[in-house]
């Protein structure tokens, strides 16, 4: 789900159905418009190899390419500012808690997360977490909830653009970027 504050329309570079300019709020300063345009240019960039990880797919399937949650959160702080965005947990649902014959737990949890920018524009998306064969029901639920919230957060952020992870859905891009060498981190003293 996507949204904008009621006082503005988000339609860069096109006329909206009401015949208004892309920036319906005519009191928007040129400086604000320039900041939005610069942010859009930044969000159109793709993630570099330092943000991308891979892991084996389910049941030995092909490798999955993804960005770790902490890296995307750090990137969102860099792009939007630490106080330029927030996230809210809209809903958490425990889809199932099954106890198998050996007394171990299989759990699935869904979370809907909303990411809101300072100007009120938001995106929300669903995340999922699953635990299989856990010895503790509580630990399985804890793991699943955290996983679902992180997944929902990353999926909501990706709606803002390539830099927030949307480029990971471009298979041609991910095939090439995983071949790139990650530059070493230099720490000066």
For residue 163, give the nearest of 92, 88, 77 by alpha carbon. Answer: 77
Distance CA 153, CA 89 (A): 9
Q: What is the pLDDT of residue 3?
A: 63
Whether residue 91 is predicted with pLDDT greater than 60 in this model: the reply is: yes
Whether residue 20 is predicted with pLDDT greater than 80 in this model: the reply is no
pLDDT in tens, 31-53: 988 999 999 999 999 999 999 99
| pLDDT of 57 above 80 | yes
Domain annotation covers residue 27: yes
Q: With left for phi above 0 and alpha for psi between -120 and 50, is residue 13 left, alpha or beta?
A: left
CA dihedral for 174, 52, 75, 112, sign (positive or negative): positive
CA 129/CA 144 separation, integer angstroms: 4
Report how far residue 89's alpha carbon sits from residue 102's, in angstroms, rounded to the nearest whole number: 34
Residue 188 domain-assigned (yes or no): no
pLDDT at 14: 35
How many C-beta neighbours within 10 Å does residue 161 have?
19
**How far is 158 from 181, CA to CA, in rounded Å?**
24
In-domain check, residue 187: no
Mean pLDDT within 116-132: 96
pTM: 0.80
Tally of domains within the chain? 1
| Higher local confidence (pLDDT), 23 or 128 | 128
Residue 182 belongs to some domain of the structure: no
Tell me the mean pLDDT in the region 9-18. 35
pLDDT of residue 182: 77
Question: 113: phi > 0 → left, psi -120 to 50 → alpha, else beta; which?
Answer: beta
pLDDT for the residue 85: 98
Is the pLDDT reported for residue 107 higher than 80? yes
pLDDT mean across residues, the chain: 87
Band of the pLDDT at 21, cuts 50, 70, 90? very low
- pLDDT on residue 4: 54
Domain coverage including residue 116:
2-175
CATH number, residue 133: 3.30.390.80
- How many of the other CB atoms lie within 10 Å of CB of 171? 9
The predicted structure's pLDDT at residue 121 = 94
Residue 116 lies in a domain: yes
Residue 162 pLDDT > 70, yes or no?
yes
**Angle at CA of residue 6, ends 153 and 127, nearest 5°:** 15
Structure tokens at 13: 């570079």
């Amino acid at each position: 789900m996507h949204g904008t504050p009621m006082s503005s329309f988000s339609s860069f570079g096109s006329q909206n159905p009401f015949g208004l300019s892309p920036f319906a709020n005519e009191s928007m300063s040129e400086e604000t418009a320039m900041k939005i345009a610069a942010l859009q240019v930044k969000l159109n960039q793709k993630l570099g190899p330092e943000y991308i990880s891979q892991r084996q797919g389910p049941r030995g399937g092909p490798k999955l390419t993804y960005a770790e949650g902490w890296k995307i959160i750090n990137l969102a702080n860099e792009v939007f500012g630490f106080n330029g965005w927030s996230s809210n947990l809209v809903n958490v649902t425990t889809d199932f808690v099954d106890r198998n014959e050996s007394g171990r737990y299989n759990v699935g949890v869904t979370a809907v997360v909303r990411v809101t920018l300072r100007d009120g524009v938001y995106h929300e998306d669903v995340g999922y977490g699953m635990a299989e064969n856990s010895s503790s029901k509580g630990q399985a639920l804890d793991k699943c909830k955290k996983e679902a919230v992180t997944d929902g957060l990353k999926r909501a952020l990706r709606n803002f653009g390539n830099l927030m992870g949307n480029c990971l859905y471009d298979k041609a891009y991910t095939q090439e970027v995983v071949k790139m060498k990650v530059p070493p981190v230099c720490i000066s003293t």
